[in-house]
Chains A and B, each alone.
Chain A
Amino acid sequence: MSGERILVNGNHAAAYGVRLARPMVVPVYPITPQTPIVEKISEFQAEGQMEVELVTAESEHSAMSACITASLTGVRVFTATASQGLMLMHEMLHYASGARAPIVMVNVNRTIGSPWGFWPDQTDSLAQRDTGWIQYYCESGQESLDTILQAFRVAEKVLLPAMVVHEAFYVSHSLEVVEVPAQELADQFLPPFTPPHRLDPEIKESWGNTVNQDMFYRHRKTLGEAMDNALAAAKEADADYRALVGRGYGIIEEYRCDNPEIIIATMGSMTGTAREAVDELRAEGLAVGLLKVKLFRPFPLKDVRRALTGVPKVVVLDRNFAPGTGGFLHQEMKAALYGMSDGPEVHGYLAGVGGTNIPPAKIKDMVREALAEKAAAEPVWKG
C-alpha cells in the first residue's frame, strides 16, 4: 500500500492531503497564493475523485461562518486562505474555537497590506496566535500534506480548529516530489468524524446563547485545557502517522543538536535553508544545531526547554514582525525560557521580513555574529 509519487507544487500537495481526509463541506473564497489549493479541490470534485459540498462564498468571513456551522452540524470541514482573507476571518476564528469546531484550514503566509505585496511573511497567521486555533508551520508541500491529516486527527480529538501553515511561493508554488499515501492508510489513520454534540433536531442542542460570567470563565478554562491536551494529541498523531505511513516530524525537530555552542531556532521554509547552513557550519568545525518549531499553538514549552537546556546560545530567526515587540518566535522563546538557570542567551533576528531572500550564507553570518556578540534585548533587523 505504498503511496504514489508525484511532482506537484506545495499547494497541490496540500490539496492531495485534503482529498485523503475526505471533508464533506469546503467553503472557500479565492486569494493569491491560496487559489491552487481550491482549484485542485474543485478539479477533484469535478472528476468525481472527491465527494464534497463546495461553497463558493462571497467573502472569507462568510466562508469561515459556513465552516463553523457545517462542522457543528457534524461533518468534517476544510478551508484555505491567506493574508487579507485571514484578516477578514478574524472575528470568526474566535467564534470557531469558542464553538469547539474542529475545522482544518490551510493558511498560505503572505504579507498583509497596506501596502500590497504577495511575499512570504508569517505575520498573518502569527497575529492569530491568540484565537484558540492549533497552529502548525510546515516547510514543504510533503509536510503540509502529511500535517493536514494529522491536524484533522488532533482537532477532532480535542475539539479545536487547526491551521496548517506554509509560506507563499517558497512552498506554495515550488515544485517538489511528493508521496501521496494510499487512501486506505489515510482512512485507517483518520476515521469518520461523528461528534456526539451537534446541531440536530433529534438531540435539540443549541449553541451560542448568552452565558453568565461564571459560565464564560468555565468555558475559557475548558478551552485552555483542550489546547493543553492538543500537545499530547499532536505527539500521538505524529507517532501513529509515522508508524503507518513512514513519515513523521515531531512537534519540534532537533537537527544536529549534539553538544552545540549555538542553536538556530526558526519555523517554516526558513528551516530548510537553516539546515543547509548548519551542515556547512558543522563541516567548517562549528558546533551548530537547528531547532524547528513545527507546532506553534499550543506552544511546546517543555520540549523547547528540554531541547535548549545547557545550550549557551540560541539565535531566533523570524520571518515576521510585530511592531513594538519584534519577531513572534523571539517573544515566545524568551517567555518560554525565562527563569531557566541553565537556559541559553537569546538572540532575536528579524530575517526575511516582507519576503526578502535569506540564503544559507546569510544565516551563517548571523550565527557567527550571534556567537561573537552579547544578545540585545531588542530584535535586530537583518534583511
Chain B
Amino acid sequence: MGYYNIQEEKVFNSGHAACPGCSEALAIRYIINTLGPDSIGVVPPSCIAIISGPQPLSSMRMPVYQTTLEASAASATGISRALKAKGNDHTNVVVIAGDGGTYDIGFQSLSSAAERNEDFIYVCLDNEGYMNTGAQKSSSTPYLAYTTSTPSGKPTPKKNLAEIMAAHRIPYVATATTGYPEDLARKVARAKELKGTGLRFILVLTPCLDGWGVADHAGPKTSRLAVETGVFPLYEVEYGERYTLNFGSKGTPVQAYLSQQSRYKHLRPEQIQEIQSQVDANWERLRERFSVP
C-alpha cells in the first residue's frame, strides 16, 4: 500500500540489498511500479544493479538486462529495435542508470540514442557520485562537495544534464526527486504515455546516505530541501521548447540543504555564500525559460 495518491503495480519487491533508507530504492519502486510488469529494464553497474539483485535473485518482477557501464542507451536501443522488428508496440523499455553511467562514461551512447530519438525511457538516478566504487566524483558532483577523489572539495560545478538533454529536443525531459514521490510517479506515467514518440529522459535526484553523509531517515527531507533552496528545481521540457515548472525555489537558504550533509562540512562561510550566489544565478537563468512566471 502506498502512502501517497499513487497507482502502483507491484513490480518492485522488498528484500533487496540497498542501504536501509536509500533514496534509490524508493525511486526504483515508483518508477517500475508505475511502468508495470510489461517492461524490460536495462541496468548498468551501479547501486541500482545491487538493488536489482544477484543471480538467481531479483527484486524486480520483469526481465532486467544488466549491461556494461557505458552502454545502457545502446543496449536499450537493441531491445527497442528488436521489439519493433517483432511487431511489439506495448512493452516499455526502461534504462535505470546512475549519474556516473549517464553523465560520464555512458554519455556518448545516450546522446546518440537521443539524436536518433530511440523509443525508450531513460531514468538517471543521480546521487552525484560513483557510490558503488566508494564515492568518487562524477561530473554530476556539485561544486565544493567532498568525495573520496576530491578530498578538498570538487573545484568545478555540476554538469547540467537536464539542459543538455533538452537541447537534444527529445519528446520529454523531466527532473524529479524522491522527496516528491507523487511528482516522480506522475512524470514516469507521462513518459510511459508518450511511448512511440521517442526518447524520454527523467533525471531523479536521489540523496545517498553513505556518499553524502546523510542520516538514515533524512533522505526525503534532504531531497525536499534541494528543491526548496533552488538547488534542484523540478520541471518538464517537451521537445526542448515547452518548459513547465512543477516545484521551484521557496527562497530557503542553501545552508539549510548543505548542513544536512557531511560532504559539505568542510565549507567556510564565504564558500557557502559562493554556492548561494551560484544557485541564485542558475535559478534566475532557468526561470526565464518558463512560460508561466
B62, B79, B112: which contacts A73 (Cβ < 8 A)?
B79
Contact partners of B81 in chain A: CB under 8 A: 25, 27, 53, 55, 66, 70
Q: Are B77 and A27 in contact (CB under 8 A)?
A: yes
CB within 8 Å for A57 and B112 given contacts A25-B85, A65-B75: yes
A72–B65 CA distance with the chains assembled, in angstroms: 9
Closest to B91 in A: A201
Contact partners of B73 in chain A: CB under 8 A: 62
- A24 touches B (CB below 8 Å): yes
Q: Are A208 and B85 in contact (CB under 8 A)?
A: no
CB within 8 Å for A206 and B78 given contacts A53-B84, A58-B108, A201-B37: no
Closest to A210 in B: B54
Closest to B36 in A: A201
- B135 touches A (CB below 8 Å): no
- A95 touches B (CB below 8 Å): yes
Closest to A95 in B: B68
Q: Are B112 and A204 in contact (CB under 8 A)?
A: no
A71–B115 CA distance with the chains assembled, in angstroms: 23
Q: Are A200 and B63 in contact (CB under 8 A)?
A: yes
- B116 touches A (CB below 8 Å): yes
Q: Are B79 and A199 in contact (CB under 8 A)?
A: yes
- B38 touches A (CB below 8 Å): yes
Mark each residue of chain B from 29 to 64: 1 if its CB lies under 8 Å from any CB of chain A, else 0.
000000001111010000001001111111011111
- B18 touches A (CB below 8 Å): no
Mark each residue of chain A from 54 to 93: 1 if its CB lies under 8 Å from any CB of chain B, else 0.
0111110111011111111111010000000000000110
Contact partners of B71 in chain A: CB under 8 A: 61-62, 65, 92
A341–B38 CA distance with the chains assembled, in angstroms: 62
A210–B52 CA distance with the chains assembled, in angstroms: 10
- B67 touches A (CB below 8 Å): yes
B54, B60, B82, B116: which contacts A24 (Cβ < 8 A)?
B82
B40, B62, B109: which contacts A62 (Cβ < 8 A)?
B109
- B111 touches A (CB below 8 Å): yes
Q: Are A69 and B111 in contact (CB under 8 A)?
A: no
Mark each residue of chain B from 70 to 102: 1 if its CB lies under 8 Å from any CB of chain A, else 0.
110111111101111110000100000000000
Q: Are B54 and A73 in contact (CB under 8 A)?
A: no
B55, B70, B74, B79: which contacts A210 (Cβ < 8 A)?
B55
Q: Are B78 and A69 in contact (CB under 8 A)?
A: yes
- A283 touches B (CB below 8 Å): no
Task: Give the contact-size bracket for chain A.
Answer: 35 or more
Q: Are A211 and B78 in contact (CB under 8 A)?
A: no
CB within 8 Å for A209 and B67 given contacts A55-B81, A66-B77, A74-B86: no
- A335 touches B (CB below 8 Å): no
- A205 touches B (CB below 8 Å): yes
Contact partners of B86 in chain A: CB under 8 A: 24, 73-75
Q: Shortest beta-carbon distance, A50 to chain B, in Å? A: 12
Q: Are B65 and A199 in contact (CB under 8 A)?
A: yes
Closest to A66 in B: B78
A208–B55 CA distance with the chains assembled, in angstroms: 8
Q: Are A66 and B74 in contact (CB under 8 A)?
A: yes
- A243 touches B (CB below 8 Å): no
CB within 8 Å for A70 and B82 given contacts A61-B71, A62-B109, A201-B37: yes
Q: Shortest beta-carbon distance, B198 to chain A, in Å? A: 14
Considering residues B78, B112, B116, which has the most beta carbons from chain A within 10 angstroms of its beta carbon?
Answer: B78
Within 113-171 of B, Cβ neighbours of A (below 8 Å) are at 115-116
A210–B79 CA distance with the chains assembled, in angstroms: 21
Q: Are A62 and B74 in contact (CB under 8 A)?
A: yes
Q: Shortest beta-carbon distance, A29 to chain B, in Å? A: 10
Q: Shortest beta-carbon distance, A209 to chain B, in Å? A: 4
Q: Are A208 and B67 in contact (CB under 8 A)?
A: yes
Mark each residue of chain A from 189 to 228: 1 if its CB lies under 8 Å from any CB of chain B, else 0.
0000000000111011111111110010000000000000
A53–B83 CA distance with the chains assembled, in angstroms: 10
Interface residue ranges, A against B (CB under 8 Å): 24-25, 27, 52-53, 55-59, 61-63, 65-75, 77, 91-92, 95, 199-201, 203-212, 215
Interface residue ranges, B against A (CB under 8 Å): 37-40, 42, 49, 52-58, 60-68, 70-71, 73-79, 81-86, 91, 108-109, 111-112, 115-116
Q: Which 9 A-B pairs have the closest CB atoms?
A: A208-B66, A69-B78, A58-B112, A73-B82, A66-B78, A62-B74, A65-B74, A65-B71, A70-B78
